[in-house]
Structure 1
């Protein structure tokens, strides 16, 4: 990055949205600093794979440029097939499928809008379904920006100065003065709550899930494709599992594929309602839930890497969309901090990278901080962000029976 007398753009959080924004600033030689609460990029598990839509890929390509995007593209997995295929968890039977063609679809843990024996066409480029692990995406977006990340810095708010803004950390210390602060630290963002004066809320839908990893050899019973395994044998404990089985790796026990289990409210329970547990306790619950599944599916759980298992709460922003708050020219939010979504429709990660590309372009065109940049970003983001939240909620409401409103429990 070229030397500059300008104050840096401060970014809270080092998730995919924040890091892609950093790439945009880095390419434009605009100074920035990232503050991340974790101690390192490998501090905790990176969770599921992300499936990238056409819009998501376009946003990433617009930021990275031809050469860097080619490296990103080469790292992505490409799965054939027309889309989701359903499997009966008890019988192991694969349902015959009729093609559908919705545009949205990105994450491996997408909840299918039409799951009963139908297939959704999820291909986004070259007739392939494009996916990449969250961990690999973070590392690729971090390339060249490593020295601008300050680890173990938990942002809990900010203060405006006469000519800029400072991030405030959990220990009471403050950052250098920056020209802007971008909150990208996820659903628990303190920056989001402060800048929106509490209008940005994330609701607990009551639905729960478990992420898991297993050697790719355990997936031979499924074969290549994007699979939705459904267990409706117990009406009080309905669960489903999503996974993306990529070709060419099913014979290598050193390669792991991920899967995500989910269920409506009350279907998946953790001891003492502790949904932060990871590792063996989470793995044991997944195994108990699938004890009566077909033999062809049992290797997914018998051979799972127990240390990688983790619970997750399914959350969502206000179903009515991204609210409008009084704009602050120096502070705004991106990604899950702006619009948390259920996994239904698989829209969340792609919407996040759209945020990064849009805000990065506006800051670059302005040459850094300029009054009006955050207002222009928020105006455009609210349109596609609100539509994405509404879609993810509508599908999850129909498939999982979740129901939230302004009076629901927040996280």
Structure 2
């Protein structure tokens, strides 16, 4: 059984917009409801590295021609793995150094492939603009005899849809209602700052994906960690900016008033303070930081024990960070989110729209691969910062601030 009622999608992030593209290609009606006023309303966050699985999912949704355009917008970086630099001495560390852990990063054409979150959202949005409703904050839903309606913050409701898909991130109201609180996102205590600077500031690094760890400047057990990607094709173009992720172990980074919605000068100035003792080889990344693009964020993660279980509701499901939040390490979260969109979109296309059993088939398959990725993401954070999720670890409430990307 199929329905001509639209698929309702809460949230306008990566997974939601890629699902919309999948439905557009399959000629299935849909509506997307996004709480922000426009696509440029907030800082877009750090650059995302795309895994082979993530690229395959995006290609399956977009099709050959549109994927070719998407792939052309991606940056490609030579080198198979991370290059480690001691930020205090500026020395490149050899493979024998204990802090240098081998990790294969290439995903296609022997290159490390990445793209900014903003570019990704804009490319996924193409063709879906007429069906996107900005400034519509979904706070829940009501089931009807033959469908579902999204409920908004002002008390109004959407038209009746065949299915509601919650993709509003870690503070998803749809996930909270659907899973009755079973979906928990833990606050790992570590905090981060996204920064970017002109490519000329990265000249002393050369091409590659770099990580740096300062384990002495901020006291015993306090660590500041940086990852950045320098693309060879753009490294000599002064009009291009490169981004980086600066992460502090618990207790190191303190946004003013613990407000993670702050962007701009406060985040930029704190990044400069944290790296004041760093070597001139890497100091230009902070001396030349674009203040307007600097932003705070929290490290969060779902339980590494696996994706939560809830009673299947045929008319409602969730995807992306709304169901399986991950740390930003390795881009696990974004790559898993696009896999969700590709899987759910394919199942809906095969059914000709909503049908009995679609959400259950999606959730059963999603739990398998997403559970693996959540555990991997958590392990990376545990090793890097000594973070352990236990009975005392706090988890985010519906209104907690998580910063962009979370």
Aligned length: 393
Q: Scaled by the length of structure 2, what TM-score is found?
A: 0.94
Once residues 89 and 83 of structure 2 are traced to their aligned partners in structure 1, the CA distance between those partners, rounded to angstroms, is 15
Q: Secondary structure at the match of 1:124?
A: coil
- Structure 2 runs not aligned, ≥5 long: 397-406
Are residue 230 (structure 1) and residue 228 (structure 2) matched?
A: no
Q: Deviations over 1:150-193 (max 9, x none)?
A: 00000000000111100000011100100000000101100001
Q: How does 1:3-402 map to 2 (within 5 A)?
A: 6-97=4-95, 116-234=99-217, 235-402=220-387
Contact kept? 2:320, 2:340, Cα under 8 Å: yes
Once residues 186 and 9 of structure 1 are traced to their aligned partners in structure 2, the CA distance between those partners, rounded to angstroms, is 18
Contact kept? 1:86, 1:115, Cα under 8 Å: no
Cα drift, residue 97 of structure 1? 2.6
Q: Secondary structure at the match of 1:61?
A: helix
Once residues 323 and 250 of structure 1 are traced to their aligned partners in structure 2, the CA distance between those partners, rounded to angstroms, is 43
Q: Secondary structure at the match of 1:163?
A: coil
Distance 1:272 1:325, change over 3 A: same
Q: Scaled by the length of structure 1, what TM-score is found?
A: 0.93
Cα drift, residue 339 of structure 1? 0.1
Once residues 319 and 165 of structure 1 are traced to their aligned partners in structure 2, the CA distance between those partners, rounded to angstroms, is 31
Once residues 329 and 209 of structure 2 are traced to their aligned partners in structure 1, the CA distance between those partners, rounded to angstroms, is 15
Tell me the residue number matched to 2:402. Answer: none
Tell me the residue number matched to 2:404. Answer: none
Q: Secondary structure at the match of 1:394?
A: helix
Distance 1:406 1:59, change over 3 A: farther
Distance 1:338 1:291, change over 3 A: same
Q: Secondary structure at the match of 1:7?
A: coil
Contact kept? 1:237, 1:268, Cα under 8 Å: no
Once residues 330 and 43 of structure 2 are traced to their aligned partners in structure 1, the CA distance between those partners, rounded to angstroms, is 24
Contact kept? 2:3, 2:354, Cα under 8 Å: no
Cα drift, residue 407 of structure 1? 4.7
Q: Secondary structure at the match of 2:384?
A: helix
Q: Deviations over 1:241-281 (max 9, x none)?
A: 10000012222222110000002111222233333321101
Q: Which runs of 4+ in 1 moved over 4 A?
A: none
Contact kept? 1:318, 1:405, Cα under 8 Å: no
Distance 1:406 1:24, change over 3 A: farther
Q: Secondary structure at the match of 1:73?
A: helix
Contact kept? 1:208, 1:313, Cα under 8 Å: yes
Cα drift, residue 230 of structure 1? 1.4
Q: Which moved more, 1:115-124 or 1:167-176?
A: 115-124
Once residues 193 and 49 of structure 2 are traced to their aligned partners in structure 1, the CA distance between those partners, rounded to angstroms, is 18
RMSD (Å) for aligned C-alpha atoms: 1.5
Once residues 115 and 266 of structure 1 are traced to their aligned partners in structure 2, the CA distance between those partners, rounded to angstroms, is 25
Cα drift, residue 410 of structure 1? 1.5
Q: Secondary structure at the match of 1:33?
A: strand
Once residues 368 and 40 of structure 1 are traced to their aligned partners in structure 2, the CA distance between those partners, rounded to angstroms, is 28
Q: Deviations over 1:382-409 (max 9, x none)?
A: 1111111111112211211112235521
Cα drift, residue 236 of structure 1? 4.4
Q: Deviations over 1:53-92 (max 9, x none)?
A: 1111111111111001000111100000121010001000
Contact kept? 1:318, 1:406, Cα under 8 Å: no
Contact kept? 1:202, 1:317, Cα under 8 Å: yes
